[in-house]
Amino acid sequence: MATATDEKTKTIHLVIERQHDPDSEPYQEEFTVPYRSNMNVISALMAIRENPVNKNGQETSPVQWEMSCLEEVCGICSMVINGVPQQACSTLIDELEQPIQIKPMRTFPVVRDLIIDRDNMFDSLKQVKAWIPIDGTYDLGPGPRMNENKRLMAYELSKCFTCGICLEACPNVNDKNEFLGPFVFPQVRLKNAHPTGEMNKSDRIEAFMEDGGLQGCGNAQNCVQVCPKGIPITTSIAAVNREATLQAFKGFFGSDNK
């Protein structure tokens, strides 16, 4: 553990990949900031913002990034830190090797520096109808109760906060195919498990069987290794694949798949 004297002299070395705007070329800029115990990556970025001077002593523009909750709930501070996509708010400096390499998640369009555009994630949720339509049902009284085991399973799936980390880690998410990404599997499974949501179960499965859906998964399992919430993504992949197979058989033999 660093003493008070050590903390006054110790510094953190960061190498940050920067980009002025969506159309400009990325470049690297190095910084050193004073060390404090229990710092996270956000703290180091805030130190640069307070004193935007690079390692060579040159004044520069403050590094741009996004943050909100600072407690691993909002998901917008996702970035690649030492080669691993993760949340900057929950990544501690003391657990990282230096120099600390920080880059934006380039699976997504870069807006500026470490800020990315995650709109494609929300477009994916629209494609698979990842919501529960309840308009006009508010006056029907309480809905059906959910089985306790199913409720516990659904709670784990509901932890997804669309941070995008699983998409960055997935080798099948790139500009050469239309795969929506691993996060969609748990979302489809979650909505289909809901007592009201299962009424539209076949619609979601059908949408997910279209281009960019379940056939795009190569089962690399990188997603489950990096998910900050430990969501059972691979289990959901298997469950949704099974439902899609059953629905395909029902459709082939002309059965009612509703």
- Residues 12-23 have pLDDT tens digits of 999 999 999 999
- Residues 124-147 have pLDDT tens digits of 999 999 998 877 666 777 777 888
CA dist 103 and 215 (Å) reads 30
- Residues 214-236 have pLDDT tens digits of 888 888 899 999 999 999 999 99
Residues 183-191 have a mean pLDDT of 94
Q: Enter the pTM of the model.
A: 0.88
Q: What's the CATH architecture for 4-116? A: Roll (3.10)
In CATH, 119-252 is 1.10.1060.10 = yes
Q: Where are the domains of the chain?
A: 4-116, 119-252
- Residues 52-78 have pLDDT tens digits of 999 999 999 999 999 999 999 999 999
Using alpha carbons, list the distances in angstroms from residue 69 to 65, 77, 108, 126.
13, 9, 21, 25
Tokens of 216: 């795009």
Enumerate the H helices of the chain as residue ranges: 4-9, 41-50, 119-127, 148-157, 165-169, 184-193, 201-208, 222-226, 233-252
Q: From the DSSP assignment, how many helices (H) and strands (E) are in the chain?
A: 9, 7
